[in-house]
Amino acid sequence: MLQTIVTQGWRRLARAALGLGMTAFLSACGGGGGSAGDPTFPCTGASCPGGGTTGPTAADLVVTLSGSTLPTDGTGSVLVTVYAVDAKRNTIADVPVSISVDQNALVSTTATKTDTSGVVTGTVRIGSDESKRTITVTAASGSITKTAQISVVTPSPTGNTTGPALTVALSATQITPAVGSTVTVQLRSSTGAALPDVVVSLATGRGNLANLSVATVRTDANGQATAQLTASPSGVTGADYVTAIAAIGSTTVSAQQAFTVTNALPTLTVNPASVTLRLSQPAPEVTATLRNAAGQPVANQVVTFAPVSTGNMTVTPGSAPTDANGVARTTLKLSTTAGTTSATDALRVSATYAEQALVGNVIVQIVGESPTATMTLSSSNLSGLGASSKANVLVRDVGGNPAAGQLVQFSSQFGLVKFDASTAVTDATGVASVNVTPATGTSNGADVVRANVTVAGIAATDSKPVQVVSATSPGAPVLQLGLSSTSVSSAVPATVTATLTDSRGLPVAGQVVTFAVIRGLGRTNVGTALTDATGKAVALLSPATSASAGADEVTATVQYAGTTLSATQGFQVQATNATIVSFTGPGSLSAYGQDTLTIVLTGAAVDSPVKLSVSSSCAAAGKATVSPASISATSNTVTLQYRDNGCGAVQPTDLLQVVIDGTSTARQLTLPISAPAAVSLAFISSVPEQIFLKGSGFTESSIITFEVRDAAGNPLPNKVVELRLQTGAGGVTMEGRGVESVDPLSPSPFTQTSNALGRVQVRVNSGTQPTPVRVHAKLSGENIATVSSNLSVGIGLPSQLNFSMSQQTINIEGYNIDNVPNTYTLIAADRSSNPVPIGTTINFVAEGGQVESNKLISQTNGISQATSNFVSAQPKPVDGRVTVVAFALGEESFIDKNGNNIYDSGEEFQDLGNIFKDRNYDGIFDASFDEFLGVNLPGNTSSTCVPPTTVAIFGLNAYSPSVPGTCDGKWTGSGQIYVRRAVETVLSTSTARPLWPGGDSRVAYANSTLPMQTGPSTSQVTNYRVAGGDTICSVKASDTFTLLAADANPGLLSSASADPSLAASYIVLPRLNPMPAGTVVTVATATTGFSVSLAGGSPVPNTSQANLVGIGYNFDTAISGSVTVTFTSPRGTGTSFSFTVEKKNSCP
């Protein structure tokens, strides 16, 4: 954007960018050029008072980049702008400047010398080298050299390396007091999609050259927003820029566009500032208005309209003279190849008048559209020569409207179908129809019907599949049979495959095939099998016995399509002359032991291997391993390895069997296995780990699990375990039994026998007192024992002192706006500050707005809490303050002086009465004003409440609302009382009404006083001066004044004619409320030689009280200055107030 700056007057871009924290303005490396206080570009050439250039030699160069990165795919470019300045930082024309790059990059420059604005520009691209690297840009003039760096980075999957993109365009880059400019911002995501409903902040750099119509704008559905830029009536001229800033999540993007304010230059204004092009919409008109320095229209001057990208759009005409009103017109159209995809482009509008080059830009948003063709078939199956299906094609144009009179072409992909007409024209409803029939009587199979149409030069197509069945069967179904081998032995069985196809040769699934061996020399592993999706059914063929030998046949039979199909295949059976002589092992095996098993055969040899399979009852249960379990024996002695994995714990012996595959020859072996000894007893779990007091209504029992283990750590079943309860405070029981001694051991403990998993379980029930619980477990007859852990009895009920509520935002913008959200988070713990159970119900009520009525406690990082949502809505109290109350069943807090964790008589406690909504949040129940909650419980009677004597935290206030005289005079727990908390939320107005915080002798007040209620009591009244239009007088060159950032709470007057300056005029006084949290306060001045700054107080904090805002000012050459203070709410409402500052002793 910097390359479009027309340099007139003062240039402060670099200083303003630094002040705003902008990263879009990149300073190059290198030294030289003025002090830290000098402006970057004070003025240009001979226009500088008392200065000017003395020749085409620069004292320094300033290099700026439009971006700091380039993508490796070569799609981007960076604009380099070089300014030549003299020793006073004035830009100089006609200075030789060269721009070069390294790292195989490319640069193209506009000139070899600076133009009349002292500028040379160039465009940098990465060239053919697509590697990641750092490119150094070097600008040189004489002995002066400056550099800047560009990083070549990998683009994101969307091709964007910088995330969301924000652009700013001006309808005119030169404005006068008579002719302004339209500011258009465009916000897009990293994928190029428009970002709607985003607030964009707008500001000018100098502040005294031009004014913006609004400080913030909100993007529309196209990601665009506009504002008006007008020259300041002060008459100051020079160069400035518009800065736009937007926050999208955690990402902040910004953009700038320079402009010039002059009273002596012509202007070119473009309208509209942005247009949208669609194929379905008529071509829009763009106008350019040329005015002279006096703001009068200029006729008969040529204005040129040129698209930035020639491939997207055309203009007619490309240039046109201005008419009597100074207006030139053109029509913007999509090019013949554009319009089907979305894109963003720009139209450049230019004219030359009075030796001035005038330029304006129009942002062009292209919305892609295409015609459509949608086909339907009345039937997708064509059976027989006489079958037909009607194909209807609905054609719509780019606007989605039915397109009549369009020629649709129909075709067949495989030639199995034909049409009664190969083309058809759409009717008034946009539909073209043809009949589809089989191409011939023997056409058979699947085909695809296609429809093609061209609407306004853009093609559209659709297709649908169709199944064609021949009128005459081309053949009969077939069953084929195959063998993987025609030689079958017990060592090498054969696979039998039957394949069923229909009359068309297609596989048939789901048919039952029966297998049989004719002479009985072989056998199949299954008698029947079902054909799969490929039409195949499979069986395994092996000899019937080890002595079987000779030739035989296997047959396959199936009933299909009313006929019986069969197939036969012969095979040769090889006899297996092998026997099992013996199967032996050790006399016994120790627990977890390993030993060798031996099998002795006859008839095994290398050329006639014998296939053996070994099975084990322990191995089948996962308690033993046999390796290998399948053997192809080539010798008569085979050895195996057997390992016990704890089988002796469940059975005394293992029954093993070896079988010659494919025969009935087998041998068995019974192997005794020793049982493992128990060596440990482990605590496994307490489920749940916390139970609650008996009668609390929460979980009151837990299952404790122990496990008996052997030396290998494996569980042992059938072991007797003795279980004894060790802690019983408050009446804790285990299976109905109380505490039993473990030293010495009680004589008759509760016992359990370990199950198949080696585990025993016991139930523990809570008592009436919180306590940790331990259960002692001992292996009967052994000196092996352990103790449980992790189980405790908790109170479960929230305690009043441990009931805490907070809100996300105290002051929300809800007085004038509905549906402004807030949240209230309740943290609940019992008297020991332990979390209350998940699922505890918390109730919420509010004086106004809408709040979720109840929420269930959940735990985050072990902390019990519940969050309720709130939105601003009617009713809204006149004072803008809403009381929200949360309550739950719980217990009154007490001081546990003896540490037994239960209430004892004489201990001080917090006596609670009924709950009420404290509408003025003063902690005092007013029966005529406050709202009583009808939630009476046994703990609430008509008794006087016991006041705290020594414990200050037991005192009741607005945070713990309690109605006097509704207590029971004693400690109440067990869920017989409601614990409660209340907070106050301020519904602040969107507009501000700043106030003077106190008397200030420097101020000549312009407004009368306003009585305001400053606290919960109606007696808390203070008269404040409303700020705005006031004059501040001070002889100091620099000073500050302070305002209260109050909202505009109106109160309630007794009548429309009542005097608002008198407290007696109000039914409800205006309340001193803060502006909404996040409100931004800004200050500005239109006075030359006078500056202002914000000394603090912005943004408005999260508070219930109006905060102070400090405004600093400084006199330079002026003796009087104007100050504008603007309060912008979070929802974008801005309220401005003007003040005058005089440099004198006192105001009249």
Amino acid at 721: V
Domain end point (choices 343, 367, 391): 367
The count of domains in the chain is 9
User: Which tokens hold the place of 1076?
Assistant: 């909404």
Q: What 8-state DSSP symbol labels residue 737? A: B
Range ranked top by mean pLDDT from 174-178, 280-284, 355-359, 531-535: 531-535
Per-residue pLDDT, averaged over 263-274, amounts to: 79
The model scores a pTM over 0.85: no
- Domain match, 144 and 188 both: no
> Angle CA(550)–CA(556)–CA(560) in degrees, nearest 5?
165
β-partners of residue 1053 are 1066
Report residue 445 as tokens. Answer: 């199979």
> Which of 116 and 517 is assigned the larger pLDDT?
517
H helical segments located in 524-638 = 617-620
Confidence of residue 14 (pLDDT cuts 50, 70, 90): very low
- 959 and 852 part of one domain: yes
Predicted local distance difference test score (pLDDT) of residue 24: 34
Question: Is 872 a member of any domain?
Answer: yes
Same domain, yes or no: 528 and 653? no
Q: How confident is the model at residue 370 (pLDDT cuts 50, 70, 90)?
A: confident
Average pLDDT over residues 85-113: 86
Confidence of residue 39 (pLDDT cuts 50, 70, 90): very low
pLDDT at 235: 55
| Res 74 pLDDT > 50 | yes
* H-assigned helices in 346-439: none
**737-763 pLDDT tens trace:** 999 998 899 999 999 999 989 999 999
CATH code assigned at 749:
2.60.40.10
For residue 972, tell me if it sits in a domain.
yes
Name beta bridge partners: 583: 599
In a domain, 745, yes or no: yes
The pLDDT of 138-151, averaged and rounded, is: 90
Question: What stretch of H or E contains 16?
Answer: helix 13-20
d(CA 654, CA 674): 11
Beta-carbon neighbour count of residue 859 at 10 Å?
Answer: 12
Same domain, residue pair 639 and 693? no
Query: What gap in Å lies between CA 905 and CA 909, rounded to an integer?
Result: 10
Task: Report residue 105 CA to chain centroid gap.
Answer: 38
Quickly state the pLDDT bin for 720 (edges 50, 70, 90). Answer: very high
Beta bridge partners of 181: 229
Answer yes or no: is 613 within a domain. yes
Contact 154, 130 (CB under 8 A): no
Q: Tell whether 22 and 87 lie within a shared domain.
A: yes
Q: What is the pLDDT of residues 652-707, one digit of tens each?
A: 899 999 988 777 788 999 999 988 888 889 999 999 888 888 877 788 899 999 99
Residues 823 and 785 in one domain: no
Q: What is the model's pLDDT at position 756?
A: 85
Structure-block tokens of residue 698: 């929460």
Range in 276-285, 746-755, 865-874 with the lowest mean pLDDT: 276-285
741 with 830, same domain: the answer is no
Choose one of 763, 794, 825: the last residue of a domain. Answer: 794
| pLDDT tens, position by position, 211-250 | 899 989 999 988 899 999 988 765 566 777 788 888 887 6
| Residue 681: both structure tokens together | 């007893």
Is residue 424, in this structure, part of any structural domain at all? yes
Asked if 135 and 150 touch (Cβ cutoff 8 Å), the reply is yes
Domain annotation covers residue 158: no
Pair (349, 410) in one structural domain: no
Asked if the structure places residue 1029 within a domain, the reply is yes
Does pLDDT of 448 surpass 50? yes
pLDDT greater at residue 190 or residue 930? 930
Angle at 896 between CA 894 and CA 899, to 5 degrees: 160
Residues 871-930 pLDDT 10s: 999 999 999 999 999 998 888 999 988 888 788 888 899 888 889 999 999 989 888 888
- The torsion of the CA quartet 423, 425, 426, 431, rounded to 10 degrees, works out to -30
Domain span at residue 901 reads 800-987
Rg of the chain (C-alpha set)? 46
CATH number, position 1043: 2.60.40
- The amino acid at 819: N
pLDDT for position 488: 85
On whether both 43 and 136 belong to a single domain, the answer is: yes
User: What's residue 602's pLDDT?
Assistant: 85
Q: Which two tokens stand for residue 45?
A: 């050439």
pLDDT digits 0-9 by tens, 925-983: 888 888 877 666 666 677 788 887 777 788 888 888 989 888 888 888 877 888 999 99
pLDDT higher than 80, residue 385 = no
Instruction: Give, in order, the Cα–Cα distances in Å from 647 to each of 643, 680, 759.
Output: 10, 18, 17
Q: At 11, is the pLDDT very low, low, confident or very high (cuts 50, 70, 90)?
A: very low
Which are the contacts of 773, defined by CB distance < 8 A and separation ≥ 6?
A: 702, 725, 727, 732, 764, 788, 791, 792, 793
Give the pLDDT confidence of 1068-1123 residue by residue, as tens digits.
Answer: 999 999 999 999 999 999 999 999 999 889 999 999 999 999 999 999 999 999 99
pLDDT band at residue 115, thresholds of 50, 70 and 90?
confident
Contact 885, 982 (CB under 8 A): yes
Looking at 438, 469, 500, the residue that finishes a domain is 469
Can you spell out the DSSP letters for 1057-1113?
Answer: TS-TTSGGGEEEPPB--BPPTT-EEEEE---TTEEEEEEE--S--S-SSPPEEEEEE
The verdict on 838 and 940 lying in the same domain is yes
Per-residue pLDDT tens for 1121-1144?
A: 999 999 999 999 999 999 999 999
Phi, psi of 800 (to 5 degrees): -55, -50
pLDDT of residue 18: 28
CA distance 624 to 633: 23
User: Do 402 and 541 fall within a single domain?
Assistant: no
pLDDT at 51 over 50: no
What mean pLDDT comes out for the span 61-72? Answer: 80
> According to the model, what pLDDT value does residue 492 have?
79
Least confident of 467-481, 526-540, 638-652: 467-481
Same domain flag for 354 and 380: no
pLDDT, position 70: 84
Per-residue pLDDT band for 251 (boundaries 50, 70, 90) equals confident
List Cβ neighbours of 21 (8 Å cut-off, separation of 6 or more). Answer: none
